[in-house]
Structure 1
Amino acid sequence: MAIITGRAKRYDGTAIDYVLLFAWKTGRCLGKSIPDAAGNWSFDYDTNLIVGITYVADGCEPITHGAYELVLNK
């Protein structure tokens, strides 16, 4: 198993509401992460993936970026 981590904050420095990870080719949702108060989030994965990431915060436009290739270390 492996973990991808990140930090996401609003323009005022507070944490965003949640992070969505999705399969880049199909758009299928792979999971959701709720950041801590500092904006730190993580997502566990157990297979190689190509993902997109969407940051969601109330009162802000969602921000999506990718594609990222998540590869398990052997």
Structure 2
Amino acid sequence: MARASPADAEVEVKRAALECSRSAVLVAGSSKFGKYRVASLSDFDAIITGPALTEAAAEGVRGSGTELHLAAPA
């Protein structure tokens, strides 16, 4: 049997929090898209990220039915 890593436990906690929440907003840097997966995009009510998000990734978010908000550069 494979031993669970701390990262596995962290993913479980994040998924449990999503299941218990009334609404969920993901705030993540645009460089994180396509690298990590804790939940489906459609599990979130809104996603806030930076303006460097690729158009393909933005279309994927919009296609999931999730609101997309691009933060203005600082």
- The bucket for the TM-score relative to the shorter chain is under 0.3
Say which structure is richer in helix.
2
Which protein, 1 or 2, shows the higher relative CO under an 8 Å CA cutoff with sep ≥ 6? 1
Which protein is bigger by CA-based radius of gyration?
2
Scaled by the length of structure 1, what TM-score is found? 0.24
Say which structure is richer in strand.
1
Scaled by the length of structure 2, what TM-score is found? 0.24
